[in-house]
């Protein structure tokens, strides 16, 4: 059994899944992931849609993406245990240890901050890697191309300054 899927096969399979999801045989909608977060935050923090209009906007796509992401937890768990054999508990990624530092506090602090602004950013733009990059650019949408360009540049610039020993 192959323990890693090559990038080209992953790309082909991902596009098949995307087209299936878009089609009337699948879900008649794009793939997306980040709308789920404000939707479920509303449930966890006990916010009422009557008081906060954003909850009304995200209710339906948020619920859809919630069920989809529950599936992705199961899918990721199955392949990590049985195929790639990468399931293990860890706190600091190896790459962080080598290119940033060995501090649990630092990694958890930056994870929290990163997760926080990742969602604020995705919601300001109206989508994330799945919704804008994959689904949006596949529809040749200008909004997604603008987002994609800004994200690529910021990602590379941040990576260069945030990590030590990053390639030029």
- For other proteins, the binding residues in 60-89 under the rule CB under 8 A are 60, 62-64, 66-80, 83-89
50 binds other proteins (CB under 8 A): no
Buried b (16+ CB within 10 A) or exposed e, 151-166: beeeeeeeeeeeeeee
117 binds other proteins (CB under 8 A): yes
Distance from the Cα of residue 67 to its chain's centroid: 15
142 binds other proteins (CB under 8 A): yes
Residues 155 and 148: their CA atoms lie apart, in Å, by 10
103 binds other proteins (CB under 8 A): no
The pattern of x and - marking residues 8 through 27 that bind other proteins according to CB under 8 A reads xxxxxxxx-xxxxxxxxxxx
121 binds other proteins (CB under 8 A): yes
**Residue 151 to residues 82, 115, 125, 154, Cα–Cα distance (Å):** 34, 15, 11, 5
Minimum gap (Å) between residue 106 Cβ and other proteins: 10
- Interacting residue with other proteins among 101, 102, 105, 133 (CB under 8 A): 133
102 binds other proteins (CB under 8 A): no
Buried b (16+ CB within 10 A) or exposed e, 122-143: bbebebbbbbbbbbbeeeeeee
Minimum gap (Å) between residue 150 Cβ and other proteins: 3
Q: Residues near 58 by Cβ (< 8 Å), separated by ≥ 6?
A: 35, 38, 39, 42
101 binds other proteins (CB under 8 A): no
Minimum gap (Å) between residue 164 Cβ and other proteins: 9
Minimum gap (Å) between residue 149 Cβ and other proteins: 8
138 binds other proteins (CB under 8 A): yes
Q: Which two tokens mark 23?
A: 């089609």
Residues 37 and 64: their CA atoms lie apart, in Å, by 12
Minimum gap (Å) between residue 156 Cβ and other proteins: 6
């Amino acid at each position: 059994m192959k323990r890693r899927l090559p990038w080209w096969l992953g790309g082909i399979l991902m596009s098949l899944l995307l087209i299936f999801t878009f089609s009337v045989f699948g879900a008649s909608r794009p793939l997306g992931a980040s709308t789920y977060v404000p939707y479920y935050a509303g449930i966890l923090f006990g916010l009422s849609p009557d008081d906060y209009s954003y909850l009304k906007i995200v209710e339906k796509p948020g619920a859809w993406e919630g069920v989809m992401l529950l599936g992705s937890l199961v899918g990721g768990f199955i392949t990590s245990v049985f195929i790639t054999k990468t399931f293990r508990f860890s706190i600091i990624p190896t790459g962080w240890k080598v290119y940033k530092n060995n501090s649990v506090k630092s990694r958890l602090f930056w994870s929290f901050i990163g997760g926080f602004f990742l969602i604020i950013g995705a919601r300001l733009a109206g989508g994330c890697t799945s919704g804008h990059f994959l689904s949006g650019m596949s529809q040749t949408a200008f909004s997604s191309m603008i987002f994609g360009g800004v994200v690529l540049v910021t990602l590379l610039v941040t990576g260069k300054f945030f990590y030590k020993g990053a390639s030029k």
